Amino acid sequence: MRRPGLDLLRAFAIIWVMFYHAQIMGLGTPLLAFTRWGWMGVDLFFVLSGFLIGGQLFVPMRRGQRPDIVEFMGKRAFRILPAYALMVLLYFAMPSWRETTQIQPLWQFASFTENLLIDISTPKAFSHVWSLCVEEHFYLLLPLICLALFGRIGPKRVMALLAGVLLGGMVLRGALWLHELEPLLALHSNDNLFSQRYMELIYYPSWSRLDGLLAGVALALLREFRPQIWARVQRHEWALYISAALLLAGAFWLLQSREAFWPVVAGFPLLAAGLAFLVAAADSEQSLLGRLCLPGIAPVAAMAFSLYLSHKMVWAVARQHLAPALQGQGVLALVVYAALALLGGATLYWLLERPSLRWRARWLAHRRQTDRLAVQSAGV
């Protein structure tokens, strides 16, 4: 069941990310004060993914059942692979459609290792799927960890484990900064190398970017295994908003220089915590975010994955034909490029992503029916 508040956050996240990419691609967005922070939309996606995917795994565990790994992986595969495979095919079959000439090797996209091996000494096309790679690694590891811990430790220890992994990530980022990045500060004439290594060693790799996913999993753990506490938390809606505002204000302040030591160590967990409070509030249909019905939010949220995959290519093709006419047009350019991105995302969604979700529903129904028949046969 879709939750309106979470859809609102999902739609906001994809729009924010797209504005950020529009700025990077030089499409003339006039909202610089807003778009320069658009990379944080990815962190909001991470918190949402951790919350929703963690919930899928924790619901059967709360009932005393082992999580069905095959079903979980199958659902993720139907959800992600068809649209992703098509976009990978287009990026390699139609190089003139890329937003920039060079691209990582095909096998890195096929193995979801692009974020671990990326070389950004020159701009790379389709590089934004680094965050999908992070989520794929999360989808692979979390169910296996849940299966390994099932029946062995309780929610309190799992929460302590999550906190330990979070702290481990902070220590790792700090160590990477001190040993790999700080020596580059002496090369005052090579600031580009410092930024490149920051992105390759800290910003992109999965082991450095677990903060948002862990925060989302912690929320799901609380909701499923401590429902009374979760209900009390959601009743204090404005306390959630105030906490989110304070934490996010701190994150914005700290991350103004996100490549410095303390932002590298503490910026991502601070940002994840603030976004987690927003997600906790949005999960309630009675909350302000849950009741805020804005036109277009539901379809944008539904198409978020297709928009995420396709928008850069759509803009690259549009820029080849429309850039001279839209140069310096500000708001008009923003509207045109936004409309084209929505059209491209909608096309991918309706032609492939939505049919793949129907295929998933049929596969799930068939699999569950087969399981029921097997149980009935065993009982005869």
- In a structure prediction context, what are the per-residue pLDDT tens digits for the chain, which is 380 residues long? 688 999 999 999 999 999 999 988 888 666 777 888 999 999 999 999 999 999 999 999 898 888 899 999 999 999 999 999 999 999 999 999 999 999 999 999 999 999 999 999 999 999 999 999 999 999 999 999 998 888 787 888 889 999 999 999 999 999 999 999 999 988 766 678 899 999 999 999 999 999 999 999 999 999 999 999 999 999 999 999 999 999 999 999 999 999 999 999 999 999 999 999 999 999 998 999 999 888 899 999 999 999 999 999 999 999 999 888 877 777 788 889 999 999 999 999 999 999 999 999 999 998 888 877 776 766 55
| 52 assigned to some structural domain | yes
| pLDDT of the residue at 115 | 97
CA dist., res. 270 & res. 212, Å (int): 10
Q: Which residue has the tokens 């490549």?
A: 259
Q: Please give the model's pTM, rounded to 2 decimal places.
A: 0.95
| pLDDT of the residue at 185 | 86
| pLDDT of the residue at 190 | 67
CA dist., res. 120 & res. 123, Å (int): 6
117's torsion region: left (phi>0), alpha (psi -120 to 50) or beta?
alpha
| 352 assigned to some structural domain | yes
Nearest residue to 131 (alpha-carbon basis) of 216, 44, 215: 44
Instruction: Residue count of the chain, please give it.
Output: 380
| pLDDT of the residue at 48 | 98
Q: Are 261 and 177 in contact (CB under 8 A)?
A: yes
As a whole number of Å, the end-to-end CA separation of the chain is 35
| 167 assigned to some structural domain | yes
Total domain count, the chain: 1
| pLDDT of the residue at 324 | 81
Cα 292 to chain centroid, rounded: 23
| pLDDT of the residue at 368 | 84
The sign of the dihedral angle between the CA atoms of 301, 304, 305, 306 is positive
| 380 assigned to some structural domain | no
| 242 assigned to some structural domain | yes
Range(s) of the domain holding residue 295: 4-375
| 180 assigned to some structural domain | yes
Phi/psi at 358 (5° precision): -70, -40
330's torsion region: left (phi>0), alpha (psi -120 to 50) or beta?
left
Helix ranges restricted to H, the chain: 4-24, 32-35, 40-62, 69-93, 106-110, 114-117, 130-149, 155-176, 191-198, 211-225, 227-235, 237-254, 261-262, 268-282, 288-291, 297-302, 304-326, 331-348, 354-379
Q: Which residue has the tokens 């009932």?
A: 63
Cα 8 to chain centroid, rounded: 15
| pLDDT of the residue at 378 | 63
